[in-house]
Amino acid sequence: MRSRAETEPAVRVDRLTVEHHREPLGIGEAAPRLTWATVAGAGWTQGGYEIAVDRGGRTTTGWVEGGDSVLVAWPGAPLRSRERVEVSVRVRGKDGSTSDWSAPTAVEAGLLSPEDWTAVPVGPGPGTPPDGVWLLRREFDVRDDVVAARLYLTAHGVAEAEVNGAAVGEDVLAPGWTSYAHRLQYATHDVTALLRPGANVLGIRLADGWYRGLVGFDGGTREVYGDRVAVLCQLELHHADGTTAVVASGPDGWSAAPAPTSSASFYAGERHDARSDDRSWSAPGTPTGSWRPARDVSPRDPGTLVAPEGPPVRCTQEVEPVSVTPLEPGTFLLDFGQNLVGRLRLRVQGPRGTLVRLRHAEVLQDGRLCTRPLRGAPSVDEYVLAGGGPEEWEPRFTLHGFRYAEVSGWPGGLAPGAVTARVQHTDMERTGWFECSDPLVTRLHENVVWSMRGNFVHLPTDCPQRDERLGWTGDIQVFAPTAAFLYDCTGMLRSWLRDLAAEQLPDGTVPWYVPYVPGGPIWSPPRPGAVWGDAAVLTPWDLFERAGDRQVLVDQYDSACAWVDLVTRLAGPGRVWDQGFQLGDWLDPAAPPEDPTASVTDPHLVATAYFARSTDHLARTAEAVGRPEDAARYGALAAEVRAAFRSRYVTAEGRMTSDTQTAHALAICFDLLLPEHREPAGTRLAHLVRSSGNRIATGFAGTPLVTEALTRTGQVPTAYDLLLCAELPSWLYTVRQGGTTIWERWDSLLPDGSVNPGDMTSFNHYALGAVADWLHRTVAGLAPAEPGYRRVLFQPQPGGGLTWARARHRSPYGEVAIEWHWTDGRLDVEVEVPTGATGTVQLPLQAPREIGPGRHRLTADVPPDWADR
Ligand code: BGC
């Protein structure tokens, strides 16, 4: 038998990906960029690559010299609409060794030009009552020589398709929520296997979704986008002889009927009466029920139809209850052990007409569901049994945020497997992991992961459970670095950033949340606000830094400039943004519960610090996208803003005018201080942290930065004291209180176990989980030193009594990882650098070391009090 080394080349291409797609079917890029990770021995360096594209005949680039492997330009002619090709790559080392060709990756273009669309929106017509789900169907004939069939599907509303009674794909709440007036996503499905020669039926379930349903505050606003739901779809059947038949939504052959789901709303929930189920509705033949011709509805400019850049929402996990408590006959309280976002699937059998009701809540109060924090989102699903055998049901067009559910009206006992929670979110690939010797910190990290999952649902939302669920710009602005470590969210956030740019006002104002919907007087019309609006500059930068995608900066450049230019005008020649409404250090724990903007830190100090930060990052962005003049101009402006910040908010002796943790953290992290004032500011910050008993005394603006600011100024032990404090308010208080997600308020659950009486008491809000970035970078010690982790910084800064920590991240180059153990004054570290990347290791009390790809073990003498020296 031959050994592995003899049979496999020493170098191989691990995976070849296309743009930021998880599945490159129906993509919108005609010239998608390619990324591959290579597995090779230590010391191997790529000297060149060759890309082959099979477009029915294989062409290759020939060997291209160079070490690039991330987002490499598309070779050759752009893809045509619908074109399907196979791409593979092989690499050659500087040592002359060559890999085999990678396994081919199939790439298929979507409909790239507006002329590709013949479909027009069709729906039940005007005057249909809101909330109800509609069925649409169209019969069509299929020849016996179909070689491929694609369904391009979108909707004004949310839609799911069936062909001949079989579900098309597993997407949930498609086409998601974008800035509909500017961009409506369509999905591409391969439906070849669902067709058969002869009569076929395409059926669509259609609900209001974000288009016509209730969205936003105070129970929501209806019909934000329009009063008529419609489906827009195009089924294309490709025949062996090269001809194509198209079945498109439009005036011909479509009929509509109300579905047995009489209401479906994000906030209210869903009601389905299985007694009126007609399983043949999407099968050939004449279905029963009240079908009538479907109607053309408001037209849609096909130029606004876009292919998705990120994955769809799907069920990613099923969770069984950890306990089932009978409350009264037919009523049970279920605890799923985890606060999650999704819905319940029932497997039930009982008499016809039995009504099963499902109520959801994140928390309990006195042993019962506490639904008050849901505000105007009752979150009740109802199912009426058809009777006569086992039935299975899950709502389709709603989502709930819950850990507990109350099931009532249940026939008989509740058997294991009868009620299962199905977790739903944008199905991004997991890319980041962290663990350490303190189980509470590890659980905190897990809570961050769950809050990201629950709030990355087509767009990054603030919370998933109450009436709101909006794409708050400030929340993702602080959380993006953490998000980009945990999951590959580049495609999804890139798409959302396009919406941000699309909805920016002509003067550069960024709405508080994107997509914008009318809110109360504070939010409508949008006003410029620091921290939130800065997402226009800082979030593209974070994606560039983490994913190495410069194009994000190019695409968002005008939007970023518009924001900084606006703030420059608002600040005026003084360069201090001291006018107008600000949320500032929103949700400072010292602010009165009814006024979360009343933070102890001057909101205009926060605004001016962010002005400096964004201007500085815009200068870097200009540099990165090849605009040196802009870079110089914004660089000079940033210097002026920093100077203005100092003269307004820092005394000549270096004391901050707001003697608060947030003020110090911003000044340190955003490099706003004179060099000689930096360390003293760190000392003062450490003092402030200690004098608040190591509890949190910061809101949205400060909290993500305090541990980082302490670390940068040599106050690592205090950073750990802050992290490990478990008194209210603190991160670990929430863990001690049994939290399984990150909360909106530190005291969402009060010390006596009761639920905070305020009306902003979400238990699933990722923003304050942004500290996970510090866990990754500083506790474990893993950070990008160059965009895309082309150079990795391994700089663990152990402390807080932790004896070990580890983190790993699937970077564009491959897996980067670190694990350290710290015992008896000795720090043992193992790191991994993927092929194509390099690393810098900076261990405590040691000079930095440069390392190449491969696994490395390093050791350092690190006494327990190293950070105090
Ligand atoms: C949201 C946020 C958001 C904030 C802005 C809240 O209602 O839940 O997380 O950033 O408003 O003030």
3-state secondary structure of 847: coil
Q: pLDDT tens, 640-670?
A: 999 999 999 999 999 999 999 999 999 999 9
> At residue 6, does pLDDT exceed 70?
no
143 pLDDT band, cuts 50/70/90, is: very high
Pocket probe for ligand 1: among 478, 586, 587, the residue whose CB has the most ligand atoms within 8 Å is: 586
Q: What is the chain's alpha carbon radius of gyration, rounded to the nearest angstrom?
A: 28
Q: Using the mean position of ligand 1's atoms as its centre, give its distance from the Cα of residue 409 in Å.
A: 37
Strands 105-109 and 25-27: parallel
Q: Residue 681: which residues within 8 A CB-CB, separation 6 or more?
A: 654, 656, 664, 667, 668, 673, 713
Buried b (16+ CB within 10 A) or exposed e, 493-530: bbbbbbbbbbbbeeebbbbbbbbbbebeeebeebbbbb
Strands 380-384 and 331-348: unpaired
Angle, CA 648 vertex, CA 642 and CA 654 arms, to 5°: 80
Give the Cα separation of 140 and 163 in Å (integer).
11
- Structure-block tokens of residue 856: 């490395």
Q: How many residues does the chain have?
A: 869
Q: pLDDT tens, 625-645?
A: 999 999 999 999 999 999 999
Pocket probe for ligand 1: among 375, 466, 467, 475, the residue whose CB has the most ligand atoms within 8 Å is: 475
Based on the number of CB atoms within 10 Å of its own CB, is 228 exposed (0-12), middle (13-18) or buried (19 or more)? buried
> At residue 365, does pLDDT exceed 90?
yes
Which residue minimizes the CA distance to atom 9 of ligand 1? 462
Residue 328 CA, chain-centre distance (Å), reads: 40
601 pLDDT band, cuts 50/70/90, is: very high
Q: Using the mean position of ligand 1's atoms as its centre, give its distance from the Cα of residue 524 in Å.
A: 14
788, amino acid identity? G
418, amino acid identity? A
- Structure-block tokens of residue 673: 């201080």
Residue 617: which region, alpha, beta or left (left: phi > 0; alpha: psi -120 to 50)?
alpha
Give the Cα separation of 111 and 186 in Å (integer).
9
Give the Cα separation of 425 and 458 in Å (integer).
8
Residue 596 alpha carbon, nearest atom of ligand 1: 12
- Structure-block tokens of residue 214: 């209730």
Give the Cα separation of 249 and 116 in Å (integer).
14
- Classify residue 778 by its DSSP letter: I
> At residue 56, does pLDDT exceed 50?
yes
Q: pLDDT tens, 336-347?
A: 999 999 999 999
Residue 587 alpha carbon, nearest atom of ligand 1: 12
Which residue minimizes the CA distance to atom 11 of ligand 1? 472
Q: Using the mean position of ligand 1's atoms as its centre, give its distance from the Cα of residue 472 in Å.
A: 7
Residue 767 alpha carbon, nearest atom of ligand 1: 9
- Classify residue 692 by its DSSP letter: T
Give the Cα separation of 10 and 146 in Å (integer).
43
H or E stretch at 539:
helix 535-547
pLDDT of residue 5: 39
Residue 700 alpha carbon, nearest atom of ligand 1: 10
3-state secondary structure of 448: helix
Instruction: Look at residues 455, 480, 492 and name the one whose alpha carbon lies nearest to residue 20.
Output: 492
- Classify residue 825 by its DSSP letter: T
Q: Using the mean position of ligand 1's atoms as its centre, give its distance from the Cα of residue 742 in Å.
A: 14
> At residue 1, does pLDDT exceed 50?
no
Choosing from 160, 744, 819, 832, the catalytic residue is 744
> At residue 196, does pLDDT exceed 60?
yes
3-state secondary structure of 255: strand
Give the Cα separation of 390 and 723 in Å (integer).
50
Based on the number of CB atoms within 10 Å of its own CB, is 351 exposed (0-12), middle (13-18) or buried (19 or more)? exposed
- Per DSSP, the residues of 784-814 read ESSGGGSEEEE-----TT--EEEEEEEETTE
pLDDT of residue 298: 73
Calculate the alpha carbon distances from 809 to 46, 432, 434 in Å.
21, 4, 9
**Catalytic site residue 744?**
yes
Backbone angles phi, psi at 162, to 5 degrees: -135, 145
pLDDT of residue 9: 64
Strands 826-833 and 814-823: antiparallel
- Classify residue 770 by its DSSP letter: G
Segment 531-551 shows an average pLDDT of 98
Q: Look at the block and give the residue holding tokens 């921290």.
A: 531
Diameter of the chain by CA atoms?
85
The structure's pTM equals 0.97
- Per DSSP, the residues of 421-434 read EEEEEE-PPB-EEE
> At residue 3, does pLDDT exceed 60?
no
- Classify residue 450 by its DSSP letter: H
> At residue 2, does pLDDT exceed 60?
no
% of the chain at pLDDT higher than 90: 92
Instruction: Look at residues 144, 208, 207, 155 and name the one whose alpha carbon lies nearest to residue 184.
Output: 155
Choosing from 468, 545, 708, 819, the catalytic residue is 468
434 pLDDT band, cuts 50/70/90, is: very high
Segment 537-556 shows an average pLDDT of 98
Segment 777-803 shows an average pLDDT of 98
Segment 575-588 shows an average pLDDT of 94
Cα first-last separation, the chain: 58
Taking residue 560's Cβ as centre, other Cβ atoms within 10 Å add up to 28
Which residue minimizes the CA distance to atom 7 of ligand 1? 760
> At residue 417, does pLDDT exceed 80?
yes
- Cβ atoms of residues 271 and 285 within 8 Å: no
8 pLDDT band, cuts 50/70/90, is: low
Residue 718 CA, chain-centre distance (Å), reads: 31
pLDDT of residue 595: 83
Q: Look at the block and give the residue holding tokens 């974070």.
A: 542
Residues in contact with ligand 1 by the CB-under-6-Å rule are 462-463, 468, 472, 474-475, 583, 586, 760, 765, 767
pLDDT of residue 377: 96
pLDDT of residue 289: 80
pLDDT of residue 4: 40
- Structure-block tokens of residue 476: 């993702």
- Structure-block tokens of residue 75: 């070779």
Based on the number of CB atoms within 10 Å of its own CB, is 158 exposed (0-12), middle (13-18) or buried (19 or more)? buried
Based on the number of CB atoms within 10 Å of its own CB, is 367 exposed (0-12), middle (13-18) or buried (19 or more)? exposed
Q: Using the mean position of ligand 1's atoms as its centre, give its distance from the Cα of residue 376 in Å.
A: 16
3-state secondary structure of 661: helix
pLDDT of residue 299: 85
Cis peptide before 525 (omega within 30 of 0): yes
Which residue minimizes the CA distance to atom 1 of ligand 1? 462
